[in-house]
Each structure stands twice: as C-alpha cells, then as structure tokens.
C-alpha cells in the first residue's frame, strides 16, 4: 500500500510539474518568446538573497501559483544584472520599492498588471486574474 501511495504521489507531482513553466532568465528572449508563442508574459524581477523573491519562486515551482506553460512565458530576471534591470525599468512601470517586482504583460509585451513586494498566493492569483481580464478587454 505504501508503494502504491508513493507511486500515485510521484505521478501527481510529475503531472503538476510537467505544466510548470521553465524560467527564462533573459528578458529580451522572454519578450520574443511570448510574442512568437502568443502567450502572456509573467516577469519576476528579484534577487537570489531576497526572501520575498524566493517565496514567490517557491509558489511557482511547487505549482501552488499556477502559471501553465501553455498560457505563460515565465521570466525570472536578476534585478542585480545591470542590463536586465535597465531593460525592465524601461519596458515596465511598477509602483513600490520592495522586491520582487512582478509584471504580467500581453503577448505583445504591453504591461497588463504589476505589483511590488511580498504577496500571498491569493495576492498573485488576483494579479493574474486582473491581467487576464485586461487582456480580454483589449
């Protein structure tokens, strides 16, 4: 019975992780990929030593925050990379001054929603829902 439970849990985890997006670490590449694939873009700009950033990454990697690969390109951008940070600031506007900076953009790279700082799973789900509503309104 224990073996069966382990196998079922492993299969469920594999299925959930199969739909998890692979992080693109170059914003230019992520913008191009979103446009080419016709997918929305979820951009997380943060630092490796940022607790809030790591908490959000944990929500994404565990599947608790659903970013289906069939719908989203996921960009995980290093805020400390001067080139990436400058592109992020030029392309997107995020009010607030706490990491992570998060933007959801349409496939053509237009910002739909954004937020800054700590957030719960529900906060980020609301952000995604607002982005999807904004995309439909276009």
Average pLDDT, the chain: 88
Per-residue pLDDT, 5: 40
The DSSP letter of residue 107 is T
Chain mean position to CA 136: 19
**Which strand (E) or helix (H) includes residue 16?**
helix 2-18
Q: Does the pLDDT of residue 17 top 80, yes or no?
A: no
What DSSP string describes 43-75?
A: EEEE-TT-HHHHHHHHHHHHTSS---TTTEEEE
What pLDDT is stored for residue 7 in this prediction? 42
Residues 6+ apart with CB under 8 A from 48: 54, 78
């Amino acid at each position: 019975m224990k073996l069966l439970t382990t196998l079922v849990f492993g299969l469920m985890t594999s299925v959930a992780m199969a739909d998890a997006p692979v992080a693109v670490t170059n914003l230019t590449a992520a913008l191009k990929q979103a446009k080419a694939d016709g997918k929305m873009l979820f951009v997380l700009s943060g630092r490796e030593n940022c607790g809030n950033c790591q908490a959000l990454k944990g929500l994404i990697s565990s599947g608790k925050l659903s970013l289906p690969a069939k719908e989203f390109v996921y960009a995980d951008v290093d805020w400390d990379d001067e080139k990436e940070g400058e592109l992020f600031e030029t392309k997107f506007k995020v009010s607030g001054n706490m990491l992570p900076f998060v933007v959801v953009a349409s496939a053509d790279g237009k910002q739909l929603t954004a937020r800054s700082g700590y957030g719960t799973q529900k906060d980020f789900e609301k952000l995604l829902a607002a982005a999807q509503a904004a995309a439909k309104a276009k």
